[in-house]
Amino acid sequence: MIIVKALYDYISIPLDKKIKKIYISVLVISLNFYNQEIVAQSPSIPSLGTPNELAPKITPKTPTEPLPLPPPDRLFNLQNPQTPQTPSDSQIPRHSNSELIVVNKFEVIGSSIFSDRELENITNPYTNKPISIVELFQVRTKITELYLERGYITSGAYLPEQDLQTGTVKIQIVEGGLDRIKVIGLNRLNAGYIQSRIAIATGKPLNRNRLLEALRLLQINPLIESISANLSPSWEAGLNDLEIKVTEASTFNLPITFDNSRAPSVGSERRQIQLIEANLTGLGDRLSLSYGNTDGSHAFDASYTIPFNPYNGTIGLSLGTSSSNVIESPFNILDIASNSRNYELTIRQPILQNTAQDLALGLTLSHRQSSASLLGGLIPFPALGADDNGQTKVTALRFFQEYVQRSAEEVFAVRSQLSLGLNALGSTINDLSPDSRFLAWRGQTQYLRLLAPQTLLLLRADLQLSDRPLLSQEQISLGGQDNLRGYRQDALLSDNGLVLSAEVRIPILQIPDINGLLQVVPFCDFGTVWNQRANTNPDPSTLVSVGMGLRFQMSDRLTIRLDLGLPLSRISAEKRTLQENGIYFSISANPF
């Protein structure tokens, strides 16, 4: 009410310029205590987000329920692959089994896989003693079996034509490979996308285990519905042809969402529509466009990501723009408006990737601009760290690491991000207030465990540490449907914070006809925050809640979520919206 009174006095009472400045100062000081209310809705973009609604924000994706991989024989069939059987074998002199020879040394030629020691373990028992021709061929067979045991199904050994009476016997190794990789069944996906990912796993010598792993990685690729491969002999000795049959998955999605996950200051009820094409040009490139609004805000986001190597390295560009007006009484009378723009360039490269685990490194260059004003733009909003025009600009280099470990029963995911604020691209630089120069680390982890059929345990943790006071765009928040249920969105904002959450999803109803599942979800959330300057810590600084939710999912077409959070910590807040009373809902439909 101090703000409203100061505003009315300023507008209605004739004052000279000096007194007007005093009233404006009172207004500015008062508004600084309400800084977090100048928030505008904006949807997520693919990076760790900021708690301030002026900038896009991301919630770590919940790992999907572990799914079993198909058995190897469904992915890979052998049709008598060609192993190195050559006419040279028949040219060995035909001695009878009773005729013996003495081999002083075996010379194994052409092996790039096994060391001399490994091969000598096979050949040494047959040296320096009389052996038959049958035993001589057993040596060759055992070397071939060693290759087969290690998965080298198209490699082996043979005895070339030679004089066996010299005391030295040569064994030639032929390490087989692929002649051609043929892909059938494709519609829009480029054949090179499949061939390049198979080729890196099928170098000479061809290994069945590596090939199976490559097929399994493609099987869990969201662009592919199913995949199988047949290996058959080629016309060239020692080589084989690989035919891969692919059924493409649907890559177009149009999710429509209605929820109350936004701050009440701009309207908590959000409507959003998103267009996603995961294979825009056939190269596995992804385009995402989204528009969302509340009663007081509008936001548009776009992103494009394209792979640049067969190891699933990607480069992506994203941008977003949003505008908002504070509609929450009594502050709506101040006509507080804000605008923001966000740009990000991200490169991401997996360095370890198989069906059990992924490890990826990435680098993001981000630039975010925001501005806010009062009275329809007449007065710049004096947010902490903003310049005289009410603007803040943050440029940052963000180095992130992502690790996922999965099995049939559990998924464990970790994301670490180190953000370095830069004095670049016109960034906000202040002498005392927070600005674009900062160092902050954020770590997020999630653990999903399948306790029983359709019964899941989900544990989450989120920690942020900074080296100095941060602009609100970079702070961590407590409160909302995604990190601390029972409190309004962004109830607390601080430089540092820790959020812990646990929930269990228990099935209570299944509807097989529509592939529907209803789960009850008891949960417990905890969060604590602190600032670099202790005297500015919020009070309270720790929030705890418990609650119960319902979650209904019908395949991937419809997801309905309803949560009731009971706050266990006292915090001063209005109770005018469902969100402020601890009730959250979300309806997401995907017609395609």
pLDDT above 70 for 51: no
* Residues 6 or more apart whose Cβ sits within 8 Å of residue 463: 442, 443, 444, 497, 498, 499
Distance in angstroms (rounded) separating the CA atoms of residues 406 and 63: 9
pLDDT digits (tens, 9 = 90+) for 350-374: 999 999 999 999 999 999 999 999 9
pLDDT digits (tens, 9 = 90+) for 545-588: 999 999 999 998 999 999 999 999 988 777 889 999 999 999 99
pLDDT above 90 for 259: yes
pLDDT for 353: 94
pLDDT for 485: 95
Distance in angstroms (rounded) separating the CA atoms of residues 393 and 429: 9
CB 122, CB 142: distance < 8 Å: yes
pLDDT for 321: 97
pLDDT above 90 for 228: yes
Which ranges of 86-132 does DSSP label H, i.e. alpha helix? 116-123
More confident residue, 534 or 42: 534
Confidence of residue 50 (pLDDT cuts 50, 70, 90): very low
User: Which 8-state DSSP code applies to residue 428?
Assistant: -
Query: For residue 376, with 0-12 CB atoms within 10 Å meaning exposed, 13-18 middle and 19 or more buried, which class applies?
Result: exposed
Q: Which two tokens stand for residue 404?
A: 């996922």
pLDDT digits (tens, 9 = 90+) for 80-114: 555 555 434 444 455 445 578 899 999 999 999 99
Lowest mean pLDDT among 45-49, 148-152, 226-230, 551-555: 45-49
pLDDT for 34: 40
Confidence of residue 235 (pLDDT cuts 50, 70, 90): confident
Q: What is the CA radius of gyration of the chain?
A: 33
Distance in angstroms (rounded) separating the CA atoms of residues 393 and 421: 11
pLDDT for 71: 57
pLDDT above 50 for 57: no
List beta partners, residue 450.
Answer: 456
pLDDT exceeding 90 applies to what percent of the chain?
72
CB 382, CB 391: distance < 8 Å: no
Q: How many residues does the chain have?
A: 592
pLDDT above 90 for 66: no
Q: Which two tokens stand for residue 10?
A: 């300023």
pLDDT digits (tens, 9 = 90+) for 172-218: 999 999 999 999 999 999 999 999 999 999 999 999 999 999 999 99
Q: Which helix (H) or strand (E) holds 319?
A: strand 314-325
- pLDDT (mean) for 138-154: 94
- pLDDT (mean) for 517-525: 98
pLDDT for 40: 34
Q: Which two tokens stand for residue 283?
A: 């190269």
Lowest mean pLDDT among 27-31, 41-45, 455-459: 41-45
pLDDT for 551: 98
* Residues 6 or more apart whose Cβ sits within 8 Å of residue 184: 243, 244, 245, 246
pLDDT digits (tens, 9 = 90+) for 385-398: 888 888 999 999 99
The mean of the pLDDT values for the chain is: 86
Distance in angstroms (rounded) separating the CA atoms of residues 382 and 3: 13
CB 429, CB 435: distance < 8 Å: yes
- pLDDT (mean) for 406-434: 94
- pLDDT (mean) for 490-513: 96
